[in-house]
């Protein structure tokens, strides 16, 4: 069984920072880092790009940080028990060694669900978290050991993937397709063609999906008004936000919040 002690989703730091724990942690620690970062490895400090993951083993020395004024990660402190004691070894997931992944989106979705479940105090939360942690680690291993994407040899793949990570990690910004295309010195039509080729969706759909995902999270964990939430998620028009939300979820934001509360209340009282 896998248990989670503490966890966090979409944690942000607005300044450069340095984390150093020579004696490490009492448990395993998973970091999914969405921005640039650095790690000390065998006495040498090395820089890593966005989409870097690391699992620190118990009592392993920890030293990482960020040189820039913006840092964003998801993190989980967890323990492995019983037949799962050797799970990381069985999945060939390295410990104490950062590695970069093509895409963190699915993994961060699992972390978001784990954080929500951890905060819910619902019946069977331990079992739900155990299942979600297994799904997270298996998904991480699958991505880590997957065959290279056929698009990765294209000269624009990695610059565009980095741009996509910026969008998905900060969907509330005022993203504009012409400006994004200009950043890569591409025409708008060529940019849109490559984006669809690489990621199977359009840039606009990625922005909308990411914004609605953020909205769903904050509807569940905050008392923010619908108007404030629309602005927080990057919308200038509350009605436009509500229409897109209902189109993707089948519910209005208010209905979604009420449904989440009702389901939570039923589970707690059961």
Residues 161 and 134 occupy one common structural domain: no
pLDDT category at 138 given cuts 50, 70, 90 is: very high
Q: Are residues 169 and 47 in the same domain?
A: no
Q: Which DSSP category does 57 fall into?
A: P
pLDDT > 70: percent of the chain: 96
Do residues 133 and 176 both lie within one domain? Answer: no
Residue 270 domain flag: no
- How many domains, in total, are found in the chain? 2
Residue 105's pLDDT band (boundaries 50, 70, 90)?
confident
Q: Torsion over CA of 65, 170, 156 and 94, rounded to 10 degrees?
A: 40
User: Looking at the predicted structure, is the pLDDT value of residue 234 above 50?
Assistant: yes
- Same structural domain, 19 and 70: yes
Residue 197 falls within a domain, yes or no? Answer: yes
d(CA 10, CA 75): 9
Residue 72 and residue 124 in one domain: yes
Q: What is the mean pLDDT of the chain?
A: 90
* pLDDT value, residue 264: 61
- 3-state SS class at 38: strand
Average pLDDT score over residue span 174-187: 93
- At residue 82, does pLDDT exceed 50? yes
CATH of residue 252: 1.10.10.60
91 and 31 together in one domain: yes
113 & 8 share domain: yes
Query: What confidence score (pLDDT) does residue 267 get?
Result: 34
pLDDT at 76: 98
Spatial distance between the Cα atoms of 173 and 234, rounded to a whole number of angstroms: 6
Mean pLDDT of 71-100: 94
Site of tokens 């009492």: 26
Question: Which residues, including other chains, have CB under 8 Å from residue 61's CB and lie 6 or more apart?
Answer: 21, 22, 23, 24, 40
Tell me the CATH number at 72.
Answer: 2.60.120.280
**H or E element in which residue 255 lies:** helix 253-269
Per-residue pLDDT, averaged over 140-153, amounts to: 78
Of 126, 144, 162, which marks where a domain is finished?
144
The answer on 124 and 155 residing in a single domain is no
Reduce the DSSP state of residue 41 to 3 states and report it.
strand
- Point out the domain boundary residue: 118, 144, 170: 144
Domain co-membership, 9 together with 140? yes
Domain, as residue range, for 216: 150-265
Q: Are residues 194 and 134 in the same domain?
A: no
In contact, 238 and 230? CB cutoff 8 Å: yes
pLDDT of residue 193: 95
Average pLDDT, integer, range 155-184: 87
Q: Which of the pair, 145 or 211, is modelled with greater confidence? A: 211
**Contact indicator for 101, 56 with CB cutoff of 8 Å:** no
Based on the fold, state whether residues 219 and 96 are members of the same structural domain: no
Residue 202: the pLDDT is 94
pLDDT at 147: 63
What's the average model confidence in pLDDT over 24-36? 96
Residue 265 has pLDDT above 50, yes or no: no
What pLDDT shows up at residue 221? Answer: 85
Last residue of a domain, one of 100, 119, 144: 144
């Amino acid at each position: 069984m896998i248990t989670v002690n503490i966890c966090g989703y979409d944690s942000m730091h607005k300044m450069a920072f340095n984390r150093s724990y020579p004696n490490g942690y009492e448990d395993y620690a998973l970091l999914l880092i969405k921005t640039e970062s650095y790690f000390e490895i065998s006495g040498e400090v090395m820089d890593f790009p966005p989409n870097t993951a690391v699992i620190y083993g118990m009592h392993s020395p920890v030293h990482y940080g960020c040189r820039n004024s913006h840092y964003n990660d998801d993190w989980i402190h967890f323990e492995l028990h019983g037949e799962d004691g050797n799970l990381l070894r069985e999945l060939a997931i390295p410990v104490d060694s950062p590695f970069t992944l093509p895409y963190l989106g699915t993994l961060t979705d699992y972390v978001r669900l784990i954080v929500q479940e951890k905060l819910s105090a619902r019946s069977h939360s331990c079992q739900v978290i155990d299942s979600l942690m297994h799904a997270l680690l298996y998904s991480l291993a699958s991505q880590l050991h997957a065959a290279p994407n056929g698009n990765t040899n294209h000269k624009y793949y990695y610059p565009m993937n980095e741009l996509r990570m910026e969008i998905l990690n900060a969907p509330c910004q005022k993203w504009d397709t012409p400006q994004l295309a200009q950043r890569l010195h591409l025409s708008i039509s060529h940019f849109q063609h490559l984006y669809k080729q690489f990621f199977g969706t359009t840039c606009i759909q990625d922005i909308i999906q990411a914004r609605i995902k953020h909205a769903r999270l904050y509807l569940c964990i905050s008392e923010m008004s619908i108007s404030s939430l629309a602005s927080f998620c990057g919308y200038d028009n509350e009605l436009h936000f509500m229409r897109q939300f209902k189109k993707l979820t089948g519910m209005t934001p208010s209905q979604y919040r009420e449904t989440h509360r009702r389901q939570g209340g039923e589970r707690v009282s059961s």
